[in-house]
Amino acid sequence: MTSFLSTAQLPDEYEQLRRSVADFAKTVVAPVAAEHDEKKTFPYEIVSGMADMGLFGLPFPEEYGGMGGDYFALCLALEELGKVDQSVAITLEAGVSLGAMPIYRFGTEEQKQEWLPLLASGKALGAFGLTEPGAGSDAGGTKTTAKLDSGEWVINGSKQFITNSGTDITRLITVTAVTGTNAAGKKEISTIIVPADTPGFTAQPAYSKVGWHASDTHPLSFDDVRVPEDNLLGERGRGYANFLRILDEGRIAIAALGTGVAQGCVDECVRYAKERSAFGKPIGQNQAIAFKIARMEARAAASRAAYYDAAALMLSGKSFKKAAAIAKMVSSEAAMDNARDATQVFGGYGYMNEYLVARHYRDSKILEIGEGTTEVQLMLIARELGL
């Protein structure tokens, strides 16, 4: 696929994908989103529908069961899903960029053949166990350990806030663990594949969250979990460095999701401002409302341009770390700002969970935290500027 990306006109293959996902989001996802949110149920039927469309395999080669597309194709799907349901969008994003992508980027051929066709099919989910109670933005604070014993890794420790880690179709967790010390005396962090049915691994009860109620999120525990030595993913001691690469890519995906949220808030407000009347005229004819929505549209447009730019750099093989950080920061702030303003436009209705803007208001805050906080993005941008 071409690496020339424009917010004005997408190449045909991208536009066809965007339209098909937009239709799926509108006709299949949106009608049940409020119910899943209220009941806090994982949307298995939606995940199955996305699997049938090949969305989980979008960026992977056909030889591994993928669709032969690229990362930007995934981003387009996330933007459309993000407009109507963030829980569904993050399930896809995490399943691909955190669950399957590490195996594609760093796995041996045997690991790819074993796991990628299953994950790319969407019939199974993978998760990435990075964050711990004392190690999030500072992943170097990892305390989970993995020690070799008779040709097996013995893993002990805990993880928290892990997406897609406790569903009925979760099949593996890739875990960062301390496997020793390097020549400089610092922690040697490696990544290890743990099948979900391994004895000693437990997905603890799901969190009670402010938002993303239909997304699966658990704390995890590892109690003398034993897996073969060959389950090491990538080079020993490169686990942290490799995951930084995964995070750089994932920030573009999260930026696409955030853009969808920002645009979804605009779309809802435009519709509502035309339908809702006060003092004898549609509220959209009031300049205060019209200007608020206009500013929301500007945020969404800037967010989209930012993630398109980062994706174009990535596809062309150029350095994209700064662009990804900018896109992630701009889009998450646009989502949060637009959700707040959309709630204001809707007034009392905007505070009712049955309305999409209310769910976006609850859901959007995590976009400024997950896969690197806003402060981390600022740090990365400043560092890339040589500061």
Q: Which residues are catalytic?
A: 371
The answer to whether the CB of 179 falls within 8 A of the CB of 235 is no
Measured CA angle at 381 (ends 378, 385), to 5 deg:
135
Q: Could you count the other beta carbons within 10 Å of the beta carbon of residue 209?
A: 15
- Which residues 6+ apart lie within 8 Å of 188 measured at CB? 178, 179, 180, 181, 182, 236, 237
From residue 369, how far is each of 55, 136, 193, 333, 359 by CA, in Å? 25, 10, 26, 11, 17
Both structure tokens of 369: 């935290």
How far is it between the farthest Cα atoms of the chain?
79
Both structure tokens of 190: 């490696």
Q: How far apart are CA 74 and CA 57, in angstroms?
A: 9
Amino acid at 187: K
- SS3 assignment, position 225: strand
Whose tokens are 């594949």? That residue is: 193
H-helix or E-strand containing 152? strand 152-163
Q: Give the closest residue to 300 by CA, choosing from 252, 262, 244.
A: 262
Q: How far apart are CA 20 and CA 53, in angstroms?
A: 9
Q: How far apart are CA 304 and CA 323, in angstroms?
A: 12
